[in-house]
Structure 1
Amino acid sequence: MKLTHIEALELLDNMCEVIEHEDNMSEIGNDFLIPAVFGATALGMFEFIDRVLQARPNLVWACNSMGRNLFQFAIESRQEKVYNLFYYKLSKRRRTAIGNIVDGDNNCALHVAGTLSPFARLDNISGAALKMQRELQWFKKVENIVVPLVKESLNKEHKMPREMFTKNHNQLAKEGERWMKETASSCTVVGALIITIMFAAAFTIPGGNNGQTGFPIFLHKKLFMAFIVSDAISLFSSTTSVLMFLGILTSRYAEDDFLKSLPTKMIIGLSTLFISIATMMVAFSSALFIMIHEQLWIVIPMIVVASVPVTLFIWMQFPLLVEMYISTYGRGIFDRKVKSRA
């Protein structure tokens, strides 16, 4: 695969040498080169675009049948690598100029960011809420490069960019709200059950209390302290998770809430729920070992089995938690400078 890639780059270099020194480019460009560049943009082939633009820099102003230039088409296709290539390759002045250009329907780059394009690659993103977040990130990023006047410009439908975004993402926002509420409802039930169990366990301690002093019989055992501490952590973390999920259920679900507020609550809720499940299993294992520590043939298998719920939770929910954290607080898809071959 790597050899094929190297050979393709060599072929690309040879092709670019030809078009770089070609005097009459109008026929070649209109028939072959421009459609190829737009096709490469739709597929995210930033190396191809980078090399072609080195040979013919003016192609950055080329337009497709809808009157959209390469920069606008990269936004429409949601190809962040191509977008980053243009962003770091062009000066701030040229970026602003290209972003302010309108297409055949009087749509500027911000209008294009407000559409839910069929080219948008949302299938590889988990959950409707994260898809909505990614669309908002695109809109906010493009909003930063256009002049303030463009934010209130009207297209042929007499709509401003934000109105276009709201109209085209209305269904996705509803799906995101439903996904958030369903996830929060399920997790709230689990969290409430853990709160009930851990609260009761704190007053029904293993071994019982000393009839004369009232203190726990195993008070001075290290495993008993492990039981108490893990029980307390499980109770507090599950309470925190339930409060976070209740915050999600009672949220107003405005568009901008999907950018930071809702993902943050979900991250905290899932994280604390994971901690509560893990520490609940620790409390159970500690209590089991205290009560029947002489029967290791029973204790050890039970402790191993107790790790199964934690493992299942990690397997099912941890990838979503990591993806949500990276999408909300990670480096981001727009802060990665594409390496040019120049």
Structure 2
Amino acid sequence: MGKKNSEIMIGGDMFSETMREAQRAYRSKEWDKFKEIFADNKTELLENLDLLGNTAINMAARSDNPELLKGLLGKLSEEERWRAVRKKNRQGNTLLHIIAEACKMVEMADIVLDFEKTTPLPPELVVEEKAEMAELSSREKKEQEEEKRRPLLEWKNLKGETPVFKAAKFGNLKMLTHLVKRAEDQPQTNLEIHQESPKETILHASLNAQSFDVALWIIMKMDKNNDLAGKQNKNDLTCLQLLARMPGSFQSRYDPQEFTTKLVYRLLPDEGYDIEGCNSFDQLLRGDLETGGQHDARPPPPGHLSRANYAVWKYLAEVFEWIESIWEIKKKHQLAERVAQVLVRRDYSWQSSYYNQPHDRTVVKLPPVLHNVAKRKQQLKWKEKKEVMEEREEEEKDKLEHYKDHSPLLIAASNGIIEIIHLYLKEHPESINHFSESGQNILHIAVKHRQREIFKWLQDQPELPSLASRVTQSNRTALHQVARMDYYRGSPLPGAAFQLQEELDWYKRVEKIVPSHLHMHCDRHLLTAGDLLDIEHDQMLADAQQWIKDTSQSCSTVAVLVATVVFAAAYTIPGGTEGGSALLSRAPVFIFFTIMDIVALAFSLASVVMFLSILNAPFELWDFHRSLPRKLSIGFAFLFVSLTTTMLAFSATILITIRLQWKNWTSTLVYSAALFPVTVFALIEFPLYKKIPIMFSKLFPNLCKKKISIGRSSRRA
């Protein structure tokens, strides 16, 4: 136990039996027993209790029990208490660091700070520390002497973190506000030291932890001069750039699959998300925030129906854990938007646009000769291999430094955070015309990253023609950007053919807004957007061709099997025949069986014809835009109908054969079993039903055009 921290015990136990007993009590959270263990062993209170170099005093700080901490410190002399308070573990954390990280009760910090305030450094301890420093270099002596003269609130661990920084990093808002208040009460304490570690600011730390209530408090209390919001962290990111990289923290990117989750999220109250000390968010923006805070939302102001609604949901959240989890997500989204609103108001990076573009980039460059995909690839390999490799390296570098070079506005556009986009246009209307050093504006970024919601919003903006005519430093238009697959993130649609169709549909939508004189414009490699589309989607085309062939063959086999079964069933009359006529020809169930059998045969043969037409069709790139997906969808629909009617015909046959009486309890059981296959099939295919409106609108756009235009006009009205 008396060995130095750097030494390693080999062949023996570095913990005594007393320490092991204390470790067991700590693991089981038996704090009374933990305190009794050191009643007669107070000398071991300053010994290491774990491998991280924490003492029993440090471990007691994690209990969030002020009486336990005060009781253990009371067993020590004044000199020993100073040692316990100032002792650092192997991570450089003092007792106050541990309290700031793990404790919710501010009384824990008061115990340490009050002791520091009322008790001077014992002379005996100063003499002993000077003897220990005799072997150190002059620089190390100076650093340690300066640190020992500092208040405990200024002490840093090995990462350069103060207790205030620790509280912000771990989202402990209550402890953070209390420590800052105590620091303000001590004139000798330098509050500025808490604002920045060697690598990142305290505001960056709170945003990294997604503690947006802490971030709001720091902005309004500790960053009145905008010093923190504008600084960059170790990745050269400002706070707003960092926030723009968190799409999951905003409501627009939250898309739960369960209907109940969506419903509860929308019904939860929108008020009550301000932190303590601020009556409204407008007051927060005015900078009138007072010291103090809490993590949970507070009820809305009285006198509104929303207060009763808040109380009801508060009770339900206490009863149902899943409602509480949804509410926590909504709280995070609301607070993140408030942080974004404050940071956007203070950001002016969008004003830095680069207008020194070469004059020749404004001239449309046409390709010398149009080639097919294979020949174009060979040309790129033979003549421009070196240049293409250099471009690929630049693109990879661009991916790595994407968030460094782009403003928060463009980063938000790449991640689809439409809330930040709206905040920018509200605070800085002219920011929509901002473009990066590479010449990319918000439209280029949105189409390149397939952010459809932002693209739809841009289509209604008056600046759209100007944005669409922009050409980048690489001579690329917005149509070139959508043809590239560097930032393709996949698609929720089933099958490679439908995914390729979605890409082609996306290309067509962008093509409509790009000026026609830029459709044949070439980039610096003399590639048009169509050439780039062919080359970039070559592998996806091969996957779609193979997938649609395999799917058509499999489905046609199933359709033929269904046709064989229902054809044979037509000659096996259920219930028997007499004189060539069915005995149950007038029974409703028999008529139902006959209709279902005929429908199953007709639709199964129709699906066979449709799948065979797919196998005989050409598989070129633009055939996957309308023709092939339409045939495949119709074939799927015919096969689905034929399978469903076949199962219904089977169920009708069972009912005719058994002829149970309705009053018999076994009849209900048999009828349910007969209809069971239909029910299972419907439930399994239910996810496909949700895709039908999307596929239908893409395959038959002319039929949906009138409906969409009517809907838009009604919304504008």
TM-score over 0.5 for the alignment?
yes
Task: Report the residue type matching 1:210 in the other structure.
Answer: E
Identify the match of residue 552 of structure 2 among 184, 193, 198: 184
State the match for 2:455 in structure 1: 83
Identify the match of residue 219 of structure 1 among 585, 595, 620: 585
Measured against aligned partners, the alpha-carbon deviations of 1:171-213 in whole angstroms (never above 9, x if no partner) come to: 11111122222222221111111111111111221233323xx
State the match for 1:117 in structure 2: 486
Distance 1:282 1:324, change over 3 A: closer
State the match for 1:137 in structure 2: 505
Whole-angstrom distance in 1 between the partners of 2:667 and 2:632: 35
User: Contact (CA 8 Å) 1:270, 1:321: kept in 2 or not?
Assistant: no
State the match for 2:334 in structure 1: 6
Distance 1:103 1:25, change over 3 A: closer
1:1-342 equivalent positions in 2, closer than 5 A: 1-19=329-347, 26=352, 34-88=406-460, 90-91=461-462, 94-118=463-487, 120-211=488-579, 214-294=580-660, 301=669, 303-320=671-688, 322-329=690-697
Measured against aligned partners, the alpha-carbon deviations of 1:72-97 in whole angstroms (never above 9, x if no partner) come to: 01100000111122221x21xx3222
Distance 1:317 1:79, change over 3 A: same
Whole-angstrom distance in 1 between the partners of 2:678 and 2:647: 8
Q: Percent identity?
A: 29
Whole-angstrom distance in 2 between the partners of 1:99 and 1:125: 28
**Structure number with higher relative contact order (C-alpha < 8 Å, ≥ 6 residues apart):** 1
Work out which of the two has the higher radius of gyration on C-alpha atoms and give 1 or 2. Answer: 2
Distance 1:276 1:220, change over 3 A: same
Distance 1:248 1:178, change over 3 A: same
Task: Report the residue type matching 1:114 in the other structure.
Answer: A
Cα offset for 1:109? 0.7
Whole-angstrom distance in 1 between the partners of 2:695 and 2:634: 14
Whole-angstrom distance in 1 between the partners of 2:415 and 2:648: 49
Measured against aligned partners, the alpha-carbon deviations of 1:251-297 in whole angstroms (never above 9, x if no partner) come to: 21232332222222222222222221221122122222222214878
Measured against aligned partners, the alpha-carbon deviations of 1:231-256 in whole angstroms (never above 9, x if no partner) come to: 11111111122222222222212323
Distance 1:65 1:179, change over 3 A: farther
Cα offset for 1:314? 3.4
Whole-angstrom distance in 2 between the partners of 1:200 and 1:37: 66
User: Contact (CA 8 Å) 1:267, 1:325: kept in 2 or not?
Assistant: no
Cα offset for 1:26? 5.0
User: Contact (CA 8 Å) 1:263, 1:328: kept in 2 or not?
Assistant: no
Whole-angstrom distance in 1 between the partners of 2:607 and 2:676: 21
Q: Structure 2: which 5+ residue stretches go unaligned?
A: 1-328, 354-402, 699-703, 713-717
User: Contact (CA 8 Å) 2:574, 2:657: kept in 1 or not?
Assistant: yes
Whole-angstrom distance in 2 between the partners of 1:282 and 1:32: 61
Whole-angstrom distance in 2 between the partners of 1:300 and 1:231: 24
Task: Report the residue type matching 1:201 in the other structure.
Answer: A
Measured against aligned partners, the alpha-carbon deviations of 1:89-111 in whole angstroms (never above 9, x if no partner) come to: x21xx322221211121110111
Whole-angstrom distance in 2 between the partners of 1:2 and 1:255: 43
Whole-angstrom distance in 1 between the partners of 2:614 and 2:672: 34
Task: Report the residue type matching 2:548 in the other structure.
Answer: M
The more displaced of 323-332 and 108-117 is 323-332
Measured against aligned partners, the alpha-carbon deviations of 1:106-144 in whole angstroms (never above 9, x if no partner) come to: 1101111111132x2314332211211111111101110
Whole-angstrom distance in 2 between the partners of 1:109 and 1:285: 56
User: Contact (CA 8 Å) 2:483, 2:507: kept in 1 or not?
Assistant: yes
Task: Report the residue type matching 1:82 in the other structure.
Answer: I
User: Contact (CA 8 Å) 2:438, 2:472: kept in 1 or not?
Assistant: yes
Distance 1:7 1:163, change over 3 A: same
Cα offset for 1:313? 3.6
Distance 1:187 1:313, change over 3 A: farther
Distance 1:25 1:39, change over 3 A: closer
Whole-angstrom distance in 2 between the partners of 1:327 and 1:37: 33
Whole-angstrom distance in 2 between the partners of 1:303 and 1:206: 17
Distance 1:124 1:218, change over 3 A: closer
Task: Report the residue type matching 1:248 in the other structure.
Answer: I
State the match for 2:359 in structure 1: none
State the match for 1:340 in structure 2: none
Distance 1:66 1:143, change over 3 A: same
Task: Report the residue type matching 1:76 in the other structure.
Answer: K
User: Contact (CA 8 Å) 1:71, 1:86: kept in 2 or not?
Assistant: yes
Distance 1:145 1:123, change over 3 A: closer
Whole-angstrom distance in 2 between the partners of 1:309 and 1:247: 30
Figure out how many residues of one structure are paired with residues of the other and give that number.
325
Q: TM-score normalized by structure 1?
A: 0.84
User: Contact (CA 8 Å) 2:351, 2:434: kept in 1 or not?
Assistant: no
Whole-angstrom distance in 2 between the partners of 1:318 and 1:84: 29
Task: Report the residue type matching 2:418 in the other structure.
Answer: F
Distance 1:164 1:267, change over 3 A: same
Whole-angstrom distance in 1 between the partners of 2:455 and 2:651: 53
What is the DSSP-based 3-state SS (H/G/I as helix, E as strand, rest coil) of the residue aligned with 1:40?
helix
Distance 1:285 1:316, change over 3 A: closer
Task: Report the residue type matching 1:161 in the other structure.
Answer: A
Task: Report the residue type matching 2:450 in the other structure.
Answer: R
